Amino acid sequence: MSFTKRYSILIISLIGLFLLDITSGTIFIPLNKIWNCFTNHAQVVESIIVLGFRLPKAIAAICAGSALAVAGMLMQTFFKNPLAGPYVLGVNSVSSLSVALFMLGGGTGNSFFHSLGLPLASSLGALAGLMLIMFIAKKIHNQTHILLIGMMIGFIAGAWQSVLEYLSNAQHLKNFVIWNMASLSNVMDTDLLILFSVIVICFAVCLFLIKPLNALLLGDEQASLLGINISVIKNCVLVLTALLSGVVTAYCGPIGFVGLALPHLVRIIFKTTHHLHQLFGNILMGACFLLLCDVISNLPLFEITLPINIITSLFGAPFVLWLIFKNKNAIS
Amino acid sequence: MSLVSCLLFLSSCGNQEKSKRNAASLTHPQKNNYASYFKIFKEENFSALVTYINTQKTDSVVYILYKGEKPELSSNAYYIKTPVSSVASLASVFVGALHNLQCLNYITAVDNADYICNPLIKQKCANNTIQQLSKTGALNIEQTLVCKPDIILANPSGEPKKDFDARLLKAGITPVICADYYENSSLARAEWAKAFALFFNKEQVADSLFSSIEKNYLQLKTLTDTCTHKPTVFSEIKIGDVWFVPSAKSNMAQLFKDAGADYIFSDNDKTGSLSLNLEQVINKAINADYWLNLHHCNSAEDVIKLDKRYDVFNAYKKRNLYNNNALINEAGGNAYWEYGLNHSDELLADLIKIFHSNLLPNHTLKYYKQLK
């Protein structure tokens, strides 16, 4: 199958899932009424639900899914480890700890400061976690040890987060617990604009890093011989990963599994390690995957909206396991 | 009343703690007017309190309360000599109940002073004459053993082994597990005063207190019986993605009904709360007249800060927002939970004032305030 065909299928899937996400929900709204919501902006219940609730949620799913998948791809290239991901290496945990410091310290509200403070705290936390892992990776070259150390960093950050939760007041704790449950439905207006803008800028920068990222796969020495400034590229990748996982974690909460699994799926489907295809593949696949998870989380059989984190793990993990077993040669 | 002894076989699950909740030979049950999660038996030399500790009422605990000599019974219940000398209260509603019974002096420990409004208790907490046993949420067992109250008033956690901690029982500290919040009417919750009174020999005080609350409540209720216009109402705020609203058979729904309002989510036969999402609530409540119980919000601006989409509700547009946090301390302790739940008549008066202000022109809101 040609790349064009693969991209076409993914783009059609993305449009289909986007429409499905907007049309599905607890309240049944006929298709003609959904169309009316976009053409006629009268403040009727259907219009409020579709434009005020489902549309921002679907856009947030596209942003978060694509950003986490690309962050996972960058980390796997950076650490040359297929098991690397923001969750596995403890980056999400350090990011969560940073958000806990911000929120439990009283940094909540709807102000512009809060809108920027939250992603800043989250991204700085992710950056700190990544730098720590990078520092360790320089000293220890065994990939298994790095993964284990990443997990330990996650545990330590989790423990400190628990200490903060214990010491915080009820209202701050409630806000933080809600954030920690992860949700796509509370990202709107300014938050959605910031999320979208940061992600688009990061993707644009990624486009300039395609060649160096491909070179990194050959090893640092070979990449240097090709004229790549390794330290500059690594720092760029580090900042991009921190921004992508940080901004998503800030607004949607810590969403697991996407960053680890989606790059694998892209490699299986595209059968290439070229980062141009990996980048666009991860953007499309990540968006499709999180949209699908959101559709499942809103299925009427659950009666309520299930947290997105449950769906990403519960429905996604077995599916990816099956794909990995089926295509184990493609992964290796 | 029948003089034939009845043998209550209450649930058992095998362990030592649960075997104590197995059986008790009791006669002369006292009829409750509303409450269904406790039963009182008045015997010749003792009283017995049976409390149900799960919603289905399949698990229960028997407390034998005696004044003189410990009664010789075949049962294996918890024996408590009354009046008790010290009490630990692990919820602010119990502090309010003991305040109403004039038994505040018995309190030697509370869960967390932050959640309490009573100035005397707060002052004693500040002086460390009343201990705080649950500052971080979990009961500090060591501190509880040192404090050594005779009884601990607590809500069920859902884990009987945790509720009836073996270390506390060994030290002679008896947990009294009160599922008052499972009751589906606010009068039933107020009737729990009768159960608490048994531990302090204040039955008469409790009876007269409850009679007064009941009389006031029923009188207020008759005011709304003839109302032809019933404003629509919904309540609560979503937590994360879930909006927990009181179900049709909850005490809040009963209060709305008795206050002459039409509760939006009354078309079900469930107890407790319903878990809905924003779509479902918008779909049903968008045109509702009133929106009550908005958690920590102190103004309409606070409401919209939580979620901008709340501005679609008619009740928000009309600023018909009323929150039950009019009496709140600096740490967030709310008198609604401490005193309001023990005074359903006062709660009903507030709600009638909100929905039909002409019916109670001289009443000033006590627990509720309008969010502007």
Are the Cβ atoms of B305 and A110 closer than 8 angstroms? yes
Q: In what order do the strands lie in the sheet with B29-30?
A: B29-30, B38-42, B46-52, B60-66, B78-81
Query: Mean pLDDT across chain B, nearest whole number?
Result: 90
Chain B environment of A34 (Cβ under 8 Å): none
Selected residue with higher pLDDT from B4 and B218 = B218
Cβ distance B241 to A303 less than 8 Å, yes or no, reads: no
Residue B283 and residue A169: Cβ atoms within 8 Å? no
* pLDDT(B169) > 90: yes
A25 close contact with B: CB closer than 8 A: yes
Is the minimum CB–CB distance between B279 and chain A shorter than 8 Å?
yes
Q: Does residue B218 surpass a pLDDT of 90?
A: yes
Beta carbons within 8 Å of B28's beta carbon, 6+ residues apart: B1, B41, B42, B43
- Residue B8 clears pLDDT 50, i.e. is over it: no
CB of B116 closer than 8 Å to CB of B92: yes
Closest of B121, B115, B197 to residue B153, by C-alpha = B197
Residue B12's pLDDT band (boundaries 50, 70, 90)?
A: very low
Partner B contacted by A8 (CB < 8 A): no
A27 vs chain B: nearest CA distance in angstroms?
6
> Is residue B62 packed enough to be buried (19+ CB in 10 Å), middle (13-18) or exposed (0-12)?
buried
**Angle in degrees, 0-180, between the axes of helices B344-355 and B203-225, rounded to the nearest 10:** 20
- DSSP-assigned letter for residue B72: -
CATH number for the domain that contains residue A135: 1.10.3470.10
Provide the shortest C-alpha distance from residue A247 to chain B (in Å): 19
- Asked whether the predicted pLDDT for residue B104 surpasses 90, the reply is yes
Which residues, at least 6 apart from A44, have a Cβ–Cβ distance to it below 8 Å? none
With H, G, I as helix, E, B as strand and everything else as coil, classify residue A231: helix
Cα separation, A195 vs A173, in Å, equals: 24
Tell me which of B237, B287, B304, B309 to substitute to probe the interface with A (most A C-beta atoms closer than 10 Å): B309
Q: CB distance B331–A43 less than 8 Å?
A: no
Spacing of C-alpha A109 from chain mean position: 24
- Read off the pLDDT of each residue in B317-327 and give the average, rounded to a whole number: 96
Inter-chain contact B308–A189, Cβ cutoff 8 Å? yes
**Mean pLDDT for the stretch of residues B198-225:** 96
Q: Using CB atoms, pick whichever of A49, A166, A167 lies closest to residue B279.
A: A49
- Give the chain B residue nearest A184 (alpha carbons): B241
pLDDT, average across residues B1-14: 38
Nearest CB neighbour to A26, from listed B279, B308, B309: B279
A218 reaches B (C-beta below 8 A)? no
For residue range B270-316, list pLDDT tens digits in order. 888 898 988 899 999 999 999 999 988 999 999 998 888 899 999 99
Q: CB-CB: which of A43, A188, A304 is closest to B277? A: A304
Beta bridge partners of B109: B88, B131
| Tens digit of each residue's pLDDT (9 = 90 or more) over B170-206 | 999 999 999 999 998 999 999 999 999 999 999 999 9
Contacts of A303 in chain B (CB under 8 A): 275
Backbone φ and ψ of B6, nearest 5°:
-115, 145
Is B172 near chain A, with CB under 8 Å?
no
**Which structural domains are found in chain B, ordered by start?**
6-210 (3.40.50.1980), 226-370 (3.40.50.1980)
Residue type, B371: L
Q: Whole-angstrom Cα distance, residue A73 to residue A267? A: 10
SS3 A332: coil
A3/chain B closest Cα distance in angstroms: 39
- The arithmetic mean of pLDDT across residues B324-330, rounded, is 91
State how far the alpha carbon of B71 is from the alpha carbons of A166, B78, B129, in Å.
45, 12, 34
Give contacts of B280 with chain A, Cβ < 8 Å: 26-27
User: Closest by alpha carbon to A282, among A301, A309, A306, A263?
Assistant: A263
Domain count for chain A, please give it: 1
Report the C-alpha gap between B59 and B53 in whole angstroms.
6
* Tens-binned pLDDT, residue by residue, of chain A (332 aa): 788 999 999 999 999 999 999 998 888 888 888 888 888 766 688 888 898 889 999 999 999 999 999 999 998 898 887 777 777 778 888 888 998 888 887 665 555 556 678 888 888 898 898 888 888 877 887 777 877 888 889 899 999 988 888 877 777 777 788 788 888 988 888 889 999 999 999 999 999 999 999 998 888 888 888 888 888 998 899 889 988 988 998 889 888 888 888 898 898 888 888 999 999 999 999 999 999 999 998 887 666 778 888 888 887 678 667 766 776 655 54
Distance from CA of A294 to the nearest CA of B (A): 12
Please indicate whether, in this complex, the C-beta atoms of A48 and B286 are within 8 angstroms of each other.
yes
Segments of chain B assigned E as strands: 6-9, 23-26, 29-30, 38-42, 46-52, 60-66, 78-81, 87-89, 107-110, 131-132, 151-154, 174-177, 232-235, 243-246, 262-263, 273-276, 290-292, 321-323, 369-370
Residues 6+ apart with CB under 8 A from A225: none
**CB atoms B239 and A305 under 8 Å:** no
Task: Look up the ipTM and state it.
Answer: 0.73
Mean pLDDT of B199-225: 96
**Cα(A145)–Cα(A151) distance, integer angstroms:** 10
Complete DSSP assignment for A171-225:
HHHHHHHHHHT--STT--HHHHHHHHHHHHHHHHHHHTTHHHHHHHTT-HHHHHH
Tell me how far apart the alpha carbons of residues B204 and A258 are, in angstroms, rounded to a whole number.
64
Chain A positions touching B114 (Cβ under 8 A) are 169
Q: Stretch B122-144: mean pLDDT, rounded?
A: 90
Per the DSSP assignment, residues forming a β-bridge with B132 are B110
Q: What is the pLDDT of residues B345-363, one digit of tens each?
A: 999 999 999 999 999 999 9
Least CA distance to B287: which residue of chain A? A45
Q: How far is CA B220 from CA A119, B290, B345, in A?
A: 52, 20, 8
> Between chains, do B332 and A188 touch, taking CB under 8 Å as contact?
no
Q: Which two tokens stand for residue A239?
A: 């900042």
Which contacts qualify for A143-151: CB closer than 8 Å, 24 or more apart?
A: A143/A79, A143/A80, A143/A81, A143/A83, A146/A79, A146/A81, A146/A89, A147/A81, A147/A83, A147/A84, A147/A88, A147/A89, A150/A88, A150/A89, A150/A90, A150/A91, A151/A88, A151/A90
Q: Does A110 touch chain B (CB under 8 A)?
A: yes
Range of the domain at A161: 3-331
